[in-house]
Structure 1
Amino acid sequence: MNYKTDRRSFLIAGGLTAVASTRAFGANDRLRIGVIGAGGRMQSLLSSAENTGLPFEIAAISDVYTPRRDEVKTRPSAAMAATHVDYRNVLDDNTVDAVIIATPDHWHVRIAVDALAAGKDVYLEKPVTHTIEEGATLGRAVRSSKQILQCGMQQRSWVHFRNAVDLIQGGSLGRITQVRTYWWQNYGSSWAPKPVDVAQLDWKQWLGGAPDQPFSLEKYNRWRWYWDFGGGAMTDLFAHWIDVVQWAMKADEPTTAFMLGDKYIFKDWDCPDTIQAALRYPGFGVVYEGMMSSSIDDGGLEFRGTEATLKISRAGMSIFRENVKGDRNPVSREESFEDGTTPHMRNFFDCIKTRRQPNAPVETGIAAARAGHIANLAYHHAGKIVWPLK
C-alpha cells in the first residue's frame, strides 16, 4: 500500500475548497459517525458521546488491530457498522457525516486533512499536530473547507473551567503574573502494556509515515513517549493545561521556553519521564512539573494574582483571597458535576447541525500543541530557546 500523500490530501493542503457536507438535519435525525483509531481513548470518547443523549450511530470503524474493531462493534450503536483496516474506507462511505479521530499523534493531521477533503466533519484528539509545521497545513485545510473541526481540548466545554476563565478575564484575581501547572501519573503501576496478537495487527499501516522499524509492544502501547509517534508529556498532559492558560490569559504563543527533562525510570523511552519546564509570555510566566512514576495529586493549575489565587483541576476549583488574616479557606468553591468530554462532544454534535464554530476551533488546538512542541525544542536545545527561532 502506498502511504505517501495522495492527491486528495495534496489538494486540501494546498488550499482548495473541500467538498462540504450538504445533509440537512432535522431535530431527531441520527448522526452517522465514523471511528478512526479504536483504542482506549476512543472507547472513552464514544462513552461520552453516548452520555450526551443525542441520537447517533456508528456507521464505520477503522483500526489496524482486529480486536479493537471488534470491541467497538459490541456497542449497541455500532451493531451494523462496517469495519476496515484502512481509514480511507471510512472516508469513502458517503453515509458517514462525521469522524472521530483518536489515532497516535503522527497520523492526526494526515487523516484530518483527508477527512475534511472528503466532506466529513471532524473531532480530532489532542495534540492536533505532531510537529509545529503541521499546524499551518491543518489550519489551512479547515479554513479552506466548510467543515466543522472540534479539537479534543475538552476543558473548553467543561462548566467550571469556563466559569474560571470568566473570573480570570473579568479581573477577579487582580494581575496574574504566574501560572503553575502540574501533572503526575504512574505508568509503572497502572499503565502496563497490554499483550498484542501481532497476527491480527497491521504494523506497517500503524507506522504509516514514521520510519520503518520492527514491532515493539512498548512502542505500540506507549507510543506517546517516542518521538516518531508522539511528544511525551508536553504534547499530551501539558497540552490540556496550556490550552486553559492561553485561553484565560488571551495569549497564544510563548516568547521563551526552558525545559529540563530526565529519563530516571523509563530509560528505554525517547521522551523524558521527569520534567520541569517554564514558558515566558508577555507579562506572565507558566511553569510545569510532572513525572510518570508517581500519581499523588494528579494534575491541576494555579493562577496566582495580586488579589487572589485560583486553583483548578478536573474535580473543581477554589479561590483564595489575599490579605484575609488567619483564614486560608477558599472564599469560593465549585465542584465538577460532569466529565467535560460529554458537553464537549455535545457541542460537536450541535455544531454539525447548526454549522456554528465549536468551542475548541482549530486555532486553539494548534496553539496548545505548538506550546508543547516549543518546550520540547528547548529540551533538544540544551534546555532553552527563544521563540520564534532565528
Structure 2
Amino acid sequence: MSTPKKIGRRSFVKNSFKAGAISTLSLSGFPVIVPATVFGKNSPSNRINIGAIGVGRISREHDMAETLKYDKARIMAVCDVDSKRLGEGKQYVNDFYTKKTGAAYDGVTMYSDHRELLLNKDIDAVIISTPDHSHAYLGIHAVEAGKDVYLQKPASLTIAEGRALSNAVHRTGRILQIGSQQRSWAQFRYAAELVRNGRIGELKTVYVGLPGDPAGNEEPEMPVPKNLNYDAWLGSTPYVYYTEKRVHPQNDYSRPGWLRMEQFGAGMITGWGAHHVDSAHWAMDTEYTGPVEVWGQASFPQSGLWDVHGLFKTEALYANGVKMIISNEIPNGIKFEGTKGWIFVTRGNYRASATDPVQNTENAKALTASDEKIITSVIGPNEIQLYKSTEQHGNWLDCIQSRLQPISPVEVGHRSCSTCLIHHIAMKLKRKVYWDPMNERFINDDAANSMLNRPHRYPYQIKGLE
C-alpha cells in the first residue's frame, strides 16, 4: 500500500484501521502487527500521542510508568540530552508495548533536542521529567508549541520563572498538570476536606515535616561523557566543570546528585516541600495566594560539591492568621492543628522511587487524629467537597480530552513552589521577609527581591527574563 506524502500519519493510521481487524503500523521503519481489538475505543485516532522529555529515574519509575498504564495514551517519542539514557528510554517503551500487544514493537522515535520533538505535529502532549532548573523553560516551550504538558514538580527554579510559566499556559490555553500527585491520594483530599469543614475547629497552625540533605565531598573535574550534551543539560545555569555526582549516574538510575545543588534546585524545601506545602494550601484554602511573613534558619554546607540546606526550621504567617512551620524536626507529613483537635496526614508506606531518601515506617498510618471520630466522620453532600482524582497522570489525560482544568493546575503549582522558594530566601537571608502575594514582590526589600530571578545563560533564556 503506497501512501502519498501529503497524507499525514494520523490520517493514514485512521484509514488503515478501518480496513479490518489487523493493521500494520510503520512508525520508525519497522512494521508492527497489532490487532485492532487491543485498542477498541482507544484506537489510534482517539489516543493521545505523547513525547517524554527526560527519561531518567523519575520518568522510568513514575511518569512514564504511570502513563503507560492508560490505553488512551501512547508514548510515541522520547527525548534526552544523554544518548545512553535516550536509547534505554526508547527500549523501555518498546518493551512495554511488545509485552502488551504480544508482537514485536518499535514505534518510538528518539530526539536529542526537545525543540525537534515539539515540531512533530503528531505529538499532542509531553511529559517533562527533567531536573528542576529546566522545568519552566521546557514547559513554556511546550505550551507555545501547542502541546499539553505534565510537568514534574517543582514548577520552577525561581519565582519569576514560575510566573512566566503560568502566564504562558493561560495565554496559550493548554492543559498543564503539575506532578503534585498527593492531590490524587484519598488521605490528602480527605484531610483537606476535614479541615475545610471545621472538624478540628478553627485552624491555627500547620506543621510540615521535611528532611534535610547531607553535605558531600569535593569532587574532581571529569571528562564529559561522549553520550552527554552537558551544555544543554546545564541549560540556563552558569557553566561549571563536569563531575558525575553533579549530574546523574552513568551506570544506573539511582538518585542524582543535582538534587543537592542550589544551582539546579533549592533542596528538600522545594523537592518534598512542593508536595506538602501544596497539600497544606489545599486544606488552608490558600491555593492562589501565599504567606505574608516568613522567617527561619538553616544550616548550609561550608565545603563540598553539595550545597543545599541541611537541618532547618522556617515559620510563615498567612493573612488569615494561620501559621505554618516547616522543619526537619517534624515527622514527614502535615499536621493541621485547630481549636478542637488535630489531624496528621502522610504518605504512609509509599515511595515514589526506590531511591527516595525518606525511609517510611513499616505499616505507617496515612491519616491520624487527636480523636478517632474526626477521621471517621462523613463529609456531607452540603459540605465542602474537593476535586476528586484517583491518579495524577490519568487525571491529566482525562483533562486533555475534556479540556477541563486538572487537579493540579499551573497557577496552584506555581503558588506552592513560590511559597517554598520564599522560605528558602528567608533561610538564605537569615531574617524575616515580608511578602506581597498579589504583586509577588517582597515589601521594601531590595535584597530579597533580587532573589526572585536568576541570570539565564545564552541560548537558554526565557523570553522576558533575560
TM-score clears 0.5: yes
SS at the partner of 1:113? helix
Give the whole-Å Cα distance in 2 for the aligned partners of 1:115 and 1:176. Answer: 39
2:375 is aligned with 1:332: yes
Once the two structures are superposed, the pairs formed by residues 232-271 of structure 1 within 5 Å of their partners are 232-251=267-286, 252-263=289-300, 267-271=304-308
Counterpart residue number, 1:320: 370
- CA gap of 1:45–1:355, structure 2 versus 1, over 3 A, is same
Give the whole-Å Cα distance in 1 for the aligned partners of 2:303 and 2:341. Answer: 39
Deviation at 1:79, TM superposition (A): 3.8
Out of 381, 400, 408, the position equivalent to 1:352 is: 400
- CA gap of 1:152–1:169, structure 2 versus 1, over 3 A, is same
Deviation at 1:263, TM superposition (A): 3.2
Deviation at 1:179, TM superposition (A): 0.8
Counterpart residue number, 1:14: none
Q: Which runs of 5+ in 1 are unaligned?
A: 1-23, 190-194, 292-296, 322-328, 335-339
Deviation at 1:264, TM superposition (A): 5.8
Counterpart residue number, 1:288: 326
- CA gap of 1:267–1:88, structure 2 versus 1, over 3 A, is same
Q: What per-residue deviation string (whole Å, max 9, x for no partner) do you get for residues 132-182 of structure 1?
A: 111221121111112101111112221221111111111111011111111
Give the whole-Å Cα distance in 2 for the aligned partners of 1:186 and 1:134. Answer: 24
Counterpart residue number, 1:161: 188
The one-letter code matched in structure 2 to 1:301 is: I
Q: Identity over the aligned pairs, expressed in percent?
A: 30
Counterpart residue number, 2:354: none
Counterpart residue number, 1:69: 86
- CA gap of 1:84–1:290, structure 2 versus 1, over 3 A, is same
Structure 1 length as normaliser, TM-score? 0.81
Counterpart residue number, 1:364: 412
Whether the aligned pair in 1 keeps the contact of 2:213 and 2:268 (CA below 8 Å) is no
- CA gap of 1:259–1:98, structure 2 versus 1, over 3 A, is same
Whichever structure has more strand as a proportion of its residues is 1
Counterpart residue number, 1:274: 311
Whether the aligned pair in 1 keeps the contact of 2:301 and 2:308 (CA below 8 Å) is no
**Bigger radius of gyration among the two:** 2
- CA gap of 1:62–1:131, structure 2 versus 1, over 3 A, is same
Out of 374, 378, 381, the position equivalent to 2:426 is: 378
Structure number with higher relative contact order (C-alpha < 8 Å, ≥ 6 residues apart): 1
Deviation at 1:104, TM superposition (A): 1.2
Counterpart residue number, 2:344: 311
Q: What per-residue deviation string (whole Å, max 9, x for no partner) do you get for residues 275-315 of structure 1?
A: 11111112111111128xxxxx9721110111121110012
- CA gap of 1:268–1:197, structure 2 versus 1, over 3 A, is closer
Counterpart residue number, 1:100: 127
Deviation at 1:225, TM superposition (A): 2.4
- CA gap of 1:59–1:210, structure 2 versus 1, over 3 A, is same
Deviation at 1:70, TM superposition (A): 2.2
2:61 is aligned with 1:46: no
Give the whole-Å Cα distance in 2 for the aligned partners of 1:331 and 1:168. Answer: 10
The one-letter code matched in structure 1 to 2:325 is: V
Out of 232, 254, 264, the position equivalent to 1:229 is: 264
Deviation at 1:27, TM superposition (A): 4.6
Counterpart residue number, 2:25: none
SS at the partner of 1:198? coil
The one-letter code matched in structure 1 to 2:413 is: G
Give the whole-Å Cα distance in 2 for the aligned partners of 1:264 and 1:211. Answer: 20
Q: What per-residue deviation string (whole Å, max 9, x for no partner) do you get for residues 233-256 of structure 1?
A: 111111111111111111221111
Whether the aligned pair in 1 keeps the contact of 2:213 and 2:310 (CA below 8 Å) is no
Once the two structures are superposed, the pairs formed by residues 121-132 of structure 1 within 5 Å of their partners are 121-132=148-159
Counterpart residue number, 1:3: none
Whether the aligned pair in 2 keeps the contact of 1:41 and 1:102 (CA below 8 Å) is yes
Give the whole-Å Cα distance in 2 for the aligned partners of 1:46 and 1:307. Answer: 43
- Alignment size in residue pairs: 343
- CA gap of 1:181–1:267, structure 2 versus 1, over 3 A, is farther
The one-letter code matched in structure 2 to 1:46 is: M
- CA gap of 1:179–1:202, structure 2 versus 1, over 3 A, is same
2:115 is aligned with 1:88: yes
Q: What per-residue deviation string (whole Å, max 9, x for no partner) do you get for residues 84-143 of structure 1?
A: 211111101111110000111111111111111111000111111111111221121111
Q: Which runs of 5+ in 2 are unaligned?
A: 1-13, 15-39, 98-104, 217-221, 248-255, 349-365, 378-387, 437-441, 445-466
